[in-house]
Structure 1
Amino acid sequence: MDEIAPAPGRPWRLGPRATRLFDVALASALVLASFPMSVLATGQNAWALGLSLLQTVPLYWRRSRPVTVFVAVAGASVLQAGTYDLPVWGQVAFPVALYSLARFGSATAGRIGLLVGLCGAAVASWVWTSAQFAAYPPGLDYIDYDMGLRDLSPYFFLITAIVLAAWALGSQARIRRAYEANLVAQGRQLAAEAEQRAVLAAAEERTRIAREMHDVVAHGLSVVIVQADGARYAAQKDPQVAVETLATVASVGRDALTEMRRLLGLLRGTEDPALAPQPRLEDIPSLVTADDRVDLHLPDPMPQVPDGVALTAYRLVQESLTNVRKHAGPQARATVRLAAGAGGLDVEVVDDGRGGANDGTGGLGLLGMRERVEVHDGTLEVGPAPGGGWAVRARIPT
């Protein structure tokens, strides 16, 4: 494409091919104009035409080699000042070269070019003004007139204004392009950071779901194993007890499967709204089966707490009871206490089993409990209970 279509709020710009064609057209126009302008201004002076070509031809490379082009044009201007005392057409190349230097070169190069242009304005003013007085015929009364500042000022200020305008336009274009490039770079950096945050958030979410799955699977399987063992022993003496126990096993299995489906739905990015909602404080009694030696001390009515706090308390009790079944021993008893205090919810699970001799809260279990409590800026204490056993105590701010 020759042109870049302007986006909303974005300035219109030429494309690479159109830019190159514009540079060639501009330089060609100035070079070709040197021939008629030299004839009209100087009466077919070959030297004036040569000076014009020396200053205009380098403009073909003004964008790719701005420093070299400016040096060539400035050198040709110096040669003109020393050998030819009249203005020539090729001097229009100097502001173009200075603009290109300030636009496509560095800031330092642009300032040096400005200084050279101001010096050139002073020299050109002197040379051209002196040439006018030297051209007067001898014998006239004003031949002895002393040239002063009033004679130099018009030339000097006009040339200085052209030099300053060329430098200012080029510098402003360079600054604006650098500003836009910086904005583009910042946009890309922000996009990369946003993508990285999204990746980290996804990894954190997968870790959270892994904790949830650990709690669900560990609790469900521990209950199923305990109930299955009880049903196996009870079947020999009382088949009705075995039937009830197997019903409990089926119920626990279905609940665990429902939660597993919900968590897998989260991993897939879609969750079936028909699946069970997040557990609440009212669901804590469902964690205790008929064969568990667990004493529940729950407030009545249950306190109204945020859903996240309720889920955290539920998972703490679930993980703690799972560890009691796995590590405390078959005869161990456990006590679960919930208390709503000022600004917080207290959760305590204490058993009288083997205690610290067989720590069942290591690995994902302990790490998951700590992460859940720390999310709410709460505190968690896990360790041997006085008199034996194991204790889990947590304070969750509400």
Structure 2
Amino acid sequence: MKEQVDVSRSPWRLGPRAARWFDFLLASALVLPTFPLTLLVGQSPYPALLSLAQTVPLFWRRRHPVAVFAVVAGASVLQAATYDMPVWGQVGFPAALYALARYGSGRSALVGLFVGLCGAVVASWVWTSAQFAAYPPGLEYIDYDMGLEDLLPYLLSITAIVLAAWALGSQARIRRAYEAGLVERGRQLALEAEQRAVLAAAEERTRIAREMHDVVAHGLSVMIVQADGARYAAAKDPQIAVRTLETVAKVGREGLTEMRRLLGLLRGTEDPALAPQPGLADLPSLVTANDHVDLEVPDPLPDVPDGVALTVFRLVQESLTNVRKHAGPQARAIVRLRAPGDAVEIEVVDDGHGASAAETSGLGLLGMRERVEVHGGTLHVGPAAGGGWAVRARIPL
């Protein structure tokens, strides 16, 4: 017996509220030790300010990973230029690098890795030089030349931390993309299975309807012929008319029994092939509560052919699916529908980073183009002005 797999289930993840609490607690755990550690070692307030500059931005690491990493990296550069000792706030750099690799793009993650490796070299040189400069004069190793073996402990340790943060973040980003692909594939398989079931059901309904037609047509034909014969024979031989009417009744009962049997197969069901197709009035159903989507449609809706309405619905559906997959969790999108009189114009524009991940030769875009071209329309897909991705179509009426 084959195991039944629920393809509709998504991998477990933190919800939006739990993610906000996790980010808050993590950033707080890195910010709060700044004050007691500064007082404990008796340092000036300047190291504490550097630590705050490197840890406070982590409160926004999930929503703005690039900006947070830039601020944390800038504070680290400022520390290397003005303060030659490690501070607590440096724990914020691997956290910011992880967030950049986890929630940013692959290209930004590589830039962050390069910055981290450069920072490892600079920090190792600054801290090692500071230790040699701190030796009191007159000691026998005052003329000792600092070499690579003196830099290696710092360099290897910091490089390992940078590589680990980048690798973990990149792996999490790749894993989430892989899981999203599996979920989407499972959804497509479920949809295809449902469509096959619909087609099979429609085919079965057609077969039953054909059988019912044969039963009814055959029974009525026999009854008409027998009734005509009984009418002509009644004047000459009433017994023939009686036997003929018995045959009519028998054929009628058999036909009625067979028709009831066939109707029993259809009773309580609705033919999926006759279900209404979605149209312009169903566009709001494509926007869920978690989407940042604005829908602009004319009121009242334009009167368009059913085929055009279905094409508009499928185009918007596919475009919003691509926004959810590629634009990013905080991306906003706007759907505009206009009917200038001789055509219907559809525009779906988002402000995310889907332009770098879009597949211009994907089956979704190919399907949209074929749907639009069937009605003699045009489709334009590509990066939007100012960033993001845009889908624009025009279908003549």
Q: TM-score, normalised by structure 2?
A: 0.63
Whole-Å Cα distance in 2 between the matches of residues 131 and 11 of structure 1? 49
Q: How far apart in 1 are the matches of 2:16 and 2:121?
A: 38
> Percent of aligned pairs with the same residue?
78
Q: 1:210 to 1:11 in 2, by over 3 A?
A: closer
Instruction: Give the CA deviation at 1:196.
Output: 2.0
Q: CA deviation at 1:188?
A: 2.2
The Cα offsets for residues 159-195 of structure 1, whole Å up to 9 and x where unpaired, read as: 0111111111112222222222222222222222222
Displacement after TM superposition at 1:14 (Å):
3.8
Q: How big is the alpha-carbon RMSD for the aligned residues of Structure 1 and Structure 2?
A: 1.9
Partner of 2:171: 172
Alpha-carbon contact 2:102-2:169 (below 8 Å) kept: yes
Task: State how 1:34-45 maps to structure 2 within 5 Å.
Answer: 34-41=34-41, 43-45=42-44
**Are 2:138 and 1:143 equivalent residues in the alignment?**
no
Q: Which residues of 2 match residues 342-353 of structure 1 at below 5 A?
A: none
Output the amino acid matched with 1:21.
W
The residue type paired with residue 218 of structure 2 is H
- Mapping 1:1-398, distance limit 5 Å: 13-41=13-41, 43-268=42-267
User: C-alpha separation between the residues in 2 aligned to 1:63 and 1:170?
Assistant: 12
1:297 corresponds in structure 2 to: none
Q: Report if the CA contact (8 A) 2:11-2:179 is conserved.
A: no
Encode CA deviations 1:311-366: one digit per residue, 9 max, x unaligned: xxxxxxxxxxxxxxxxxxxxxxxxxxxxxxxxxxxxxxxxxxxxxxxxxxxxxxxx
Query: Contact (CA 8 Å) 2:51, 2:89: kept in 1 or not?
Result: yes
Q: Match for 2:216: what amino acid?
A: V
| Misfit runs of 4+, over 3 Å | 9-15
Structure 2 alignment gaps of length 5 or more: 1-8, 270-397
Amino acid at match of 2:30: L
8 Å CA contact 1:38, 1:45 repeated in 2: yes
The letter for the 2-side match of 1:27 is A
How many Å separate the matches in 1 of 2:199 and 2:10? 34
Is this contact kept in 2: 1:38–1:88, CA < 8 A?
no
In structure 2, how many angstroms separate the alpha carbons of the residues matched to 1:32 and 1:223?
Answer: 95
Cα distance in 2 between the residues matched to 1:80 and 1:118: 16
**Amino acid in the other structure paired with 1:16:** P
Shift of 1:11: 7.3
Give the AA of the match of 1:98: L
Task: Count residues in correspondence.
Answer: 261
Q: Is the CA contact 2:234–2:241 (under 8 Å) kept in the aligned structure 1?
A: yes
Q: Name the SS for the 2:142 alignment partner.
A: helix
CA distance in 2 between counterparts of 1:182 and 1:58 reads 31
How far is 1:13 from its partner? 4.6
* Partner AA of 1:22 in structure 2: F
3-state secondary structure, aligned to 1:151: helix
CA contact (8 A) 1:55 1:72 kept: yes
Q: How high is the TM-score relative to the length of structure 1?
A: 0.62
Per the alignment, residue 371 of structure 1 pairs with none
C-alpha displacement of 1:22: 2.2
Distance 1:231 1:152 in 2: 117
